[in-house]
Structure 1
Amino acid sequence: MTGTRTQADEAREAAVEAALAALDLDAKARLLSGQDTWTLPALPEIGLKSLVMSDGPIGVRGVHWTADDPSVALPSPTALAATWDPDLARRAGTLLAQEALRKGVHVLLAPTVNLHRSPLGGRHFEAYSEDPYLTGTIGAGYVNGVQSGGVGTTVKHFVANDAETERFTVNNLVSERALRELYLAPFEIIVENAHPWGIMTAYNTVNGTTMSEHRYLVNEVLRGEWGFDGCNVSDWMAARSTVGAIEGGLDVAMPGPQTVYGEPLAQAVRDGKVTEAKVDDAVRNVLRLAARVGILDGAEPVVTEYPESVDGPELAREIARRSFVLVRNQGGALPLRPNGTVALIGAAARDARVLGGGSATVFPDRIVSPLDGLTAALPDGTLAYAVGADPNTELGIADKGFELRAVCRDADGTVIGTGSAPNGHIQWMGGDLPEGVTHEALRTVELTGTFTPRDTGPHTFGIKGIGAFKLTIDGTAYYDDVQRPAKEDPFAAFFGAPVPRAQPELTAGAPVEVSLTHVVEFPEGVPLRVVGFTLAHQEPQRDPDELIAEAVEAARNADTAVVVVATTDRVESEGFDRTDLTLPGRQDDLVRAVAAANPDTVVVVNSGSPVELPWREDVAAVLLGWFPGQEAGAALADVLTGAHEPGGRLPTTWGSLTDAPVTRVVPSAGELPYDEGVFIGYRAWEKEGRVPSYPFGHGLGYTEWTYESVKVEGTTVTVRLRNSGERAGREVVQIYLAPAEPGTDRPARGLAGFAGVAAGPGETAEAVIELPRRAFEMWDEQTNSWTFVKGSYEIQVGRSIADRRVTATINV
């Protein structure tokens, strides 16, 4: 166990041992196996309640994927990391604990602390950064916040789960040094500084061993070297063998009821393949987690006094504006001039994309779009809007204008239950079915209701899913057949592309009846029963040149043009990687045309991770907005109007795919070599001598900062700086440590510390930063240990990896 064990810890351990001693082998084995999708079984004989887990990381969905119980939706993890503020991350965690308690959730399946190894990683929006130190520091703040509210975390995905292609089976070949210095480092920082109550092991294989059975990395490194004493949970359906998993240190196999644990584990003990002591070790870890969250009788929970209540929407708004990264601001284009006219342009300005796709999806009770936010913030008559170009070149989930419900029927066609449908996506995992519905009785699910079009013309409807479907629109059946998967993937129904099946002519404002019926089948041998399919939709596609011309006219008639460009859930999502970094559709053409018509053009980039910005030198300002959560538009208005400055700094290098040093995410023959070793992110850009569009750590505010001095005492660095601008602001002071002689196998410099300071115009501020010992260490593969590298180092202090203002030398 990390840290010193307290009297309360000792009392909990005693309760855990007493409970363990009262269990027979079958009960122990059953406890290690999910009883359904999200929970472990209760064991009344020892006073143990059922432990409930739920996906995060930007909200707490709960055990039902429904809008009937909405969730606060915070900005994406990339946005949280862009604040460079562990205290703000802690506050985010505190809010999520509050949400978890409201929903009866004991453990949040978050945070994701894998690294941005390649910009093509499709799920990067759910991770923090390319830098292990920044990732670990923000992650530790998040974990401390969640657990301060009495809710456990499972830091994931342990380890090297850095891309989505063949993620269930890929064998990532990673050197021990790269593992230690990069991919394991965030987990180690969090274990040391936040003492997480859980870890989730990944789907992938590392150096020939699947992570759910990785005895060396789990038992020897995580538990042995680092002293982790929490519960190790598999990613969903990742556990592959009974003996391999229990010997490899996996405590819980999820989801249930069919897993490699339970009855198979008890039988393995009886057959002499596994010792009962191994089972006891795993049960002890589960009981310890239960004791910590307060569901084991006789054990006092870790938290008995909860933090003060947090205003979720207000915190979401604060994180968003603190995360926005202003990477370009020529001629003081931002903030907007008071009472000036504004042309707001872009489909994403009207229909904001506030979160990434996949298992992290939640349903907030409201979403403030940029159009909503600026309409509320700007004087009447000063704002005009034009679509300009729509990034949704493919069908998306049926949403705007749809009012839907799900009707469940048995084989005889009798209705056995109904459920809400916040949009056209049905995703019922395990026992997550409408009230009164069972898997045994369920034969069909009909997604039915009305659609009121916003535009007149040909609307395209489609289906995402596997199996038999019937699609009916306005009384006409357009499809009645079987859809088959293009490839074998247990999650194809969720992450595959929808197939167009109908294109009726509809009239704006005239409702039509829609119905999509799916015949439900549960394949033999699949441990998780899932009902999943999607009604997809695309609005009439107007001539793109015509839309761009309208946007240009609006821009020409305004003082400032604000163009919102975005990715879509077919670009950034769990389940697949990207093939390029371009913005979808005609959005690049739109920006160029608007900028040519109005030199005062501001572009807001609504993406969770890097995209190429080929027009960036042709516009006045570029503001990176990430996936900004439910209060997106309100936060954007705060920043554009100057009510608040954009506070973000880049947690990841932005550049073109052509220049990016590490791009391979597709395995060959099942293997993906991490040939770049320790050179990813800014380390690789510098090694290759390539200049990115915007470097790691970059970000502008609405004031100027003068770095006046740096003083070093031991490993404590004190930086003095002055706000030399005309308004109050916040600066992120960044320290990079550069060895005098790095050689060819060591990065030229690395992030060793950072701190935020605030000051008014003309005021000075001090940042005091302690350099961690690890900043001076390398992993020695000969001795299989950390080596403190003595010598001379330059301490480089500044605003980004490329903007270093003052330096000092330290000899160690």
Structure 2
Amino acid sequence: MTATTPSVADDLDSLIATLSLERKVELLTGHTTFTMTPEPSIGLGEIALSDGPTGVRGLKFTGGRQVSLFPNATLLASAWSEETAELVGGLLAEEAMTQHIHVVLGPTINLHRSLLGGRLFEAYSEDPLLTGKIAAAYVRGLQRRGIGACLKHLVANESETLRNSMNSRLDETTLRELYLLPFEIAVTESQPWSIMAAYNDVNGVAATEQDHVQNGIVKGEWKFDGLIMSDWFATKTAGPAANGGLDLVMPGPDGPWGAVLAAAVRAGEVAESVIDDHLRRILVLARRVGALGEPRDFPAHLPTPDSPIRRAQLTRLAADGMTVLTNNGVLPLADTTSVALIGRHAVETIDMGGGSAQVNPPYQVSAAQGLRELLGDRVTVTDGVEVRHRPVAARPGFVVNPLTGEPGAHVTLTDENGGTLIEYDRPTIMVGLDDDLPRPAARAEFRAKITADGPVEIGVMGIARWEVTAGGEHFSVTVKATSTDPGEAVLRPPAHTITMQAAGELEIVAVADLRPEPGGGAGHELLSFGLLSLIARPAPLPLDTALATAVEAARQADLAVVVVGLTEEQETESVDKTTLALPGDQDALVSAVAAAARRTVVVVNAATPVLMPWLDQVDAVLWAGLPGQEGGHAIAAALTGLIEPAGRLVTTFPTADAATPAWNVTPVEGTVAYTEGTFIGYRGHAAGHAPAPLFWLGHGLGYSTWEYSDVTLTATTPPTLRATVTNTGGRDSREVVQVYFQPEEADQPVRLVGWTAVLVTAGARATVEITADARMWRRWDSTADRWSTLSGRGRLLLARGLGDIRATIEL
């Protein structure tokens, strides 16, 4: 799509002129939770928005239609492929068109500053160039199909702790050279149709009110002609936000603008021309997505989430990004190998992170299912140690709807007078947000049945007054909010459980009273808003029993595969991590298995780095990310070599907690100070600001070996390198050739300046040429308040990550 032409702008101005001030302002706030306000008199239809980092969820936060669950952002980015990112954008456009969605709220292009960040799984990388180039390709893939993209979250939004009120403090150089750079690359290379302003403050000013960033840089310097919307509930003011460049407040229909903003215009605080510019940008978006004038046609007969083509696409995307961290010749698995597959993540593979990135997939394939399908009875499966600290909602399958006998539960919502509002067949529901009920729900009744012998964990999740009956057990509990963050009720609802003995069939009835207590205190206003879930699962085994069972399984097999990782407790919106250590006793599990097994492979089912105290005890480590609905099939394909796991790390793995250039995510007196400046990740490690890491950004072994030769500099402005790469292994393979620049200036970090990927058959060679990105030779001159150019002197490093430099050229 091209930028708005003068004739188009004139046409939109004539439409705007027909509206009253009050109606203009109304159009600047959302219509519902995930739609924008229509205006039939000017041909403006309702624009539908959907969360989209790992799938297009649709207009429901939970319980919506079944959609494809894609691999998470770090796993997709690990392909180091703009072609892959553009393909993903196109596939997500298909998912959007199936649901008549106009704008997908992604990609997330904040950087991996501190590895404690809970939402890093949604973001691509610690490197701004890699992030920006992948984001630009993703945007192109979406928008060439007529579906708008939305870059998020503008800006310096790298942590979740107190995210609604915290202040990110950073200097202009760091802001420009690092955190704004991915947005700049995506805006200039792919012209995204919208951007989302973040929750946090930046240098004391709310992101939604950032005149300097939104008006001065994005709309001014970059000539961005799209729309800037708020993150949901992020807007705090009327006049300052409107003057600061924010165009749209989400969600609707309520918010801080409306009559307050109209009054600000009449009082002269906000010029009506500012309102007109905001509305013009909404109309430009509407025209681009087909919601202005004649409504667009959405194609029919697109692939369904469980179609063979989608299954194949999602398996390939996940396996391509998986990364071989170490390998003593044990991978890929030999055909004759008997395998003991061990670990909770093997039987309950985590395929997506928590929060707004979650979708409702048709199925999720576990590693156990995937490997059994390939290797049959050569695989034994053993559950491992407990991996969670918090209870988890019941999974359909373990709980059964007692009315139908089908997996799930029976839930009835009733109003104040006992009238039925709606019935569901799943053990988790949302109330008070996009539930489309005619009246508020006052009561929710959950009914489910389980069949089990032994200890089971039974309970409820969600802010309400509960009465629970399970067999002969009964308990009453009031589950209250633990913080003032309204997101808690949706993203991390509190819970209450008991452990009881089951012997056969057991029916569970849980009733939630959602009405505020008369004269209730703080937190009770949230009682009718949030997620409600039934909890039912086998109680965790004692540690000694779990370890002994795993060790015995490992002894009986030729090889043990231990699947460990994180869950949505650590990798989620609204919560940051406190450590990079694996939760529970997973480290003890790996060590015990490695001591007993002939050979041991560890699969890490996590989107972000974890500590590996057992690394020297095992024979191979495969980093599998959060692999989406086909995760188990992709893990099996990668382990067996059906698909080469040729990924390269997008984040540097440290050796220990805090052994990183940037660590703290907890505000001190309300502020997180970015004191490390531009030296995050590999940049800081290379400069000695943190110990040498365990694995560098760009590291990945694949299933072959490589030689580099004939390295020459073929151009200097910008620098261009040519090299020959030879596949010296016995398998066809993919290599990612990386170029870094180490400036001579002492205050400048080493930085990635370019890369390319090449497929080479076994024993063959290929010539590659990499042109460095000229933007990586800029520096921000804070004194002159403008860009200047580095001297150009320094070293170019041709590498497979900074831990494996193959050639150096002096500039």
TM-score bracket, normalised by the shorter chain, equals: over 0.9
Q: How does 1:509-524 map to 2 (within 5 A)?
A: 510-521=505-516
Match of 2:342 among 345, 353, 360: 345
2:402 equivalent in structure 1: none
Indicate how the Cα distance of structure 1 residues 527 and 196 shifts in structure 2: closer, same or farther if over 3 A, else same: farther
Q: Which runs of 5+ in 2 are unaligned?
A: 400-407
2:784 equivalent in structure 1: 783
CA contact (8 A) 1:256 1:527 kept: no
d(CA) in 2 for partners of 1:701 and 1:345?
23
Which string of whole-angstrom CA distances, capped at 9 and with x for unpartnered residues, describes residues 409-433 of structure 1? 1112121222343x43x23454433
Which string of whole-angstrom CA distances, capped at 9 and with x for unpartnered residues, describes residues 541-561 of structure 1? 222111211111111111111
Which string of whole-angstrom CA distances, capped at 9 and with x for unpartnered residues, describes residues 36-82 of structure 1? 11111211101111111111111011012345511100111111111
Match of 2:322 among 324, 334, 337: 324
2:748 equivalent in structure 1: 746
d(CA) in 1 for partners of 2:471 and 2:800?
58
2:734 equivalent in structure 1: 730
d(CA) in 1 for partners of 2:12 and 2:710?
54
2:403 equivalent in structure 1: none
Amino acid at match of 1:761: A
Indicate how the Cα distance of structure 1 residues 528 and 398 shifts in structure 2: closer, same or farther if over 3 A, else same: closer
Q: Does 1:485 align with 2:486?
A: no
Q: Does 1:194 align with 2:190?
A: yes
Which string of whole-angstrom CA distances, capped at 9 and with x for unpartnered residues, describes residues 732-768 of structure 1? 11100112x231x211x21000111001012111222
1:167 equivalent in structure 2: 163
Which string of whole-angstrom CA distances, capped at 9 and with x for unpartnered residues, describes residues 386-438 of structure 1? 113231343112215121233111112121222343x43x23454433xxx22
d(CA) in 2 for partners of 1:530 and 1:195?
37
Q: How does 1:86-165 map to 2 (within 5 A)?
A: 86-165=82-161
Q: Does 1:43 align with 2:42?
A: no
1:682 equivalent in structure 2: 682
d(CA) in 1 for partners of 2:494 and 2:415?
26
d(CA) in 2 for partners of 1:220 and 1:528?
42
Q: Does 1:410 align with 2:415?
A: yes
d(CA) in 2 for partners of 1:622 and 1:317?
20
d(CA) in 2 for partners of 1:304 and 1:493?
35
Could you state the TM-score of these two structures normalised by the residue count of structure 1? 0.93
CA contact (8 A) 2:781 2:788 kept: yes
Q: SS of 2:798's equivalent?
A: strand
1:665 equivalent in structure 2: 665
1:801 equivalent in structure 2: 802
d(CA) in 2 for partners of 1:804 and 1:252?
47
Which string of whole-angstrom CA distances, capped at 9 and with x for unpartnered residues, describes residues 618-673 of structure 1? 10000001111000111111111111211110000112214223111101111111
d(CA) in 1 for partners of 2:299 and 2:590?
52
d(CA) in 2 for partners of 1:794 and 1:482?
63
Q: Does 1:24 align with 2:26?
A: no
d(CA) in 1 for partners of 2:349 and 2:72?
14
CA contact (8 A) 1:256 1:528 kept: no
2:724 equivalent in structure 1: 720
Amino acid at match of 1:365: P
1:581 equivalent in structure 2: 580
d(CA) in 1 for partners of 2:714 and 2:657?
42
Shift of residue 580 of structure 1? 0.7
2:255 equivalent in structure 1: 259
Q: Does 1:769 align with 2:770?
A: yes
1:630 equivalent in structure 2: 629
Q: Which runs of 5+ in 1 are unaligned?
A: none
Indicate how the Cα distance of structure 1 residues 694 and 271 shifts in structure 2: closer, same or farther if over 3 A, else same: same
1:596 equivalent in structure 2: 595
d(CA) in 2 for partners of 1:64 and 1:472?
30
d(CA) in 2 for partners of 1:133 and 1:460?
47
Could you state the TM-score of these two structures normalised by the residue count of structure 2? 0.93
Match of 2:453 among 448, 453, 456: 456
d(CA) in 2 for partners of 1:641 and 1:794?
40
d(CA) in 1 for partners of 2:460 and 2:424?
20
CA contact (8 A) 2:755 2:770 kept: yes
Q: How does 1:202-241 map to 2 (within 5 A)?
A: 202-241=198-237
Which string of whole-angstrom CA distances, capped at 9 and with x for unpartnered residues, describes residues 289-318 of structure 1? 00000010169x7x9999996933222111
Shift of residue 711 of structure 1? 2.2
Q: SS of 2:357's equivalent?
A: coil
Report percent identity of matched pairs.
Answer: 38
Q: How does 1:494-533 map to 2 (within 5 A)?
A: 494-496=490-492, 498-507=494-503, 510-521=505-516, 530-533=529-532
Q: SS of 1:462's equivalent?
A: strand
1:613 equivalent in structure 2: 612
CA contact (8 A) 2:412 2:444 kept: yes
1:706 equivalent in structure 2: 707
Task: Tell me whether 38-47 or 499-508 shows the greater mean CA deviation.
Answer: 499-508
Indicate how the Cα distance of structure 1 residues 185 and 172 shifts in structure 2: closer, same or farther if over 3 A, else same: same
Amino acid at match of 1:376: E
Indicate how the Cα distance of structure 1 residues 451 and 789 shifts in structure 2: closer, same or farther if over 3 A, else same: same
d(CA) in 2 for partners of 1:157 and 1:629?
23
CA contact (8 A) 2:777 2:792 kept: no
Q: Does 1:756 align with 2:757?
A: yes
CA contact (8 A) 2:463 2:530 kept: no
User: Matched residue pairs, number?
Assistant: 789
Q: SS of 2:377's equivalent?
A: coil
2:430 equivalent in structure 1: 427
Indicate how the Cα distance of structure 1 residues 12 and 528 shifts in structure 2: closer, same or farther if over 3 A, else same: farther
d(CA) in 2 for partners of 1:393 and 1:488?
22
2:366 equivalent in structure 1: 369
d(CA) in 1 for partners of 2:286 and 2:525?
28
Indicate how the Cα distance of structure 1 residues 352 and 768 shifts in structure 2: closer, same or farther if over 3 A, else same: same
Shift of residue 163 of structure 1? 0.2
Which string of whole-angstrom CA distances, capped at 9 and with x for unpartnered residues, describes residues 260-288 of structure 1? 22222222222332211110000000000
Match of 2:80 among 60, 84, 90: 84
1:73 equivalent in structure 2: 69
Aligned-CA RMSD value = 2.3
Amino acid at match of 1:418: E
Shift of residue 706 of structure 1? 0.8
Amino acid at match of 2:748: R
CA contact (8 A) 1:152 1:293 kept: yes
Q: SS of 1:137's equivalent?
A: helix
Which string of whole-angstrom CA distances, capped at 9 and with x for unpartnered residues, describes residues 124-143 of structure 1? 11111111111111111111
Amino acid at match of 2:321: S
d(CA) in 1 for partners of 2:281 and 2:194?
9
2:49 equivalent in structure 1: 53
d(CA) in 1 for partners of 2:567 and 2:792?
49
CA contact (8 A) 1:257 1:527 kept: no
Shift of residue 512 of structure 1? 1.9
